[in-house]
Chains A and B, each alone.
Chain A
Amino acid sequence: QVQLQESGPGLVKPSETLSLRCTVSGGSISSYYWSWIRQPPGKGLEWIGHIYHSGSTSYNPSLKSRVTISVDTSKNQFSLNLSSVTAQDTAVYYCARHGHGSGAFSFELWGPGTLVTVSS
């Protein structure tokens, strides 16, 4: 079955760029929307942005100036870059696949998440 796996550094210095990758296995990245969502320790969930397999993107307005999401269909991967990070960006970062049809507005499948800590 389809599985998602986040990868990337677990520690990023303040003011630097956080870069994560999500690898999709067991299925194609085509024909779905793919999102990044984060959760600070002990807190709730925040949507960061999404990308369609064609490359079209949408971002959370509160993060838009610092976020770039891209897709590499040849590798079945999509990526997140978050620039100028601060301690407030410390969180578990999840990649997720949207559903189809009426389920497209929810997150049907999630990766296990990766903790990224921003600290010098």
Chain B
Amino acid sequence: EIVLTQSPGTLSLSPGERATLSCRASQSVSSSYLAWYQQKGGQAPRLLIYGVSSRATGIPDRFSGSGSGTDFTLTISRLEPEDFAVYYCQQFASSPMYTFGQGTKLEIK
């Protein structure tokens, strides 16, 4: 089973700043199989990025994804107040099996 480790656990930033969230896999992940989600309190997760770098429908272009192999990054170019939430990465393996990272909490500084 591929384990995803997200860092940092908590990121404290101010609106307008740039956020960089990391997701590291224990084995290489195919580029088609890495996604990112945003979850706000009491709500279901929302798909932000799929296939490493493709934005889901309706996602603003301040969200971008990058990476390959075992190291992936979600970047929020300029934080808006509504962006403060928990973010999860997720991968697919051919077993089939889907696993999620433990999450990064993005909080207002």
Interface set of A (CB-CB < 8 Å, partner B): 35, 44-47, 50, 58, 60-61, 94, 99, 102-103, 105-113
Query: Is B46 touching A110 in the complex (CB atoms < 8 A)?
Result: yes
Main secondary structure of the interface of A (DSSP, over half): mixed
Given A47-B98, A50-B96, 6 further pairs, Cβ under 8 A? A44-B88, A45-B45, A61-B97, A99-B56, A103-B51, A106-B47
Residues of B within 8 A of A (CB): 1, 32-33, 35, 37, 43-47, 50-51, 54, 56, 88, 90, 92, 95-103
CA distance A44 to B45 in the complex (A): 11
- Are A94 and B44 CB-contacts (below 8 A) given A102-B32, A108-B56? yes
Please measure, in the bound complex, the distance between the C-alpha atom of A44 and the C-alpha atom of B37, giving whole angstroms.
12
Say which residue of A44, A60, A106, A109 sits within 8 Å of B35 (CB atoms).
Answer: A106
Partner of A102, one of B44, B54, B98, B99: B54
**Given known contacts A44-B103, A105-B35, A110 and B45 CB-to-CB distance under 8 angstroms:** yes
Q: How far is the CA of A58 from the CA of B98 in the complex (A)?
A: 11
Contact B32 A105 (CB under 8 A): yes
* Sample of 16 A–B contacts (CB below 8 Å): A44-B88, A44-B100, A44-B102, A45-B90, A47-B100, A50-B96, A58-B95, A102-B32, A103-B56, A105-B32, A105-B33, A106-B47, A107-B47, A110-B45, A111-B44, A113-B44
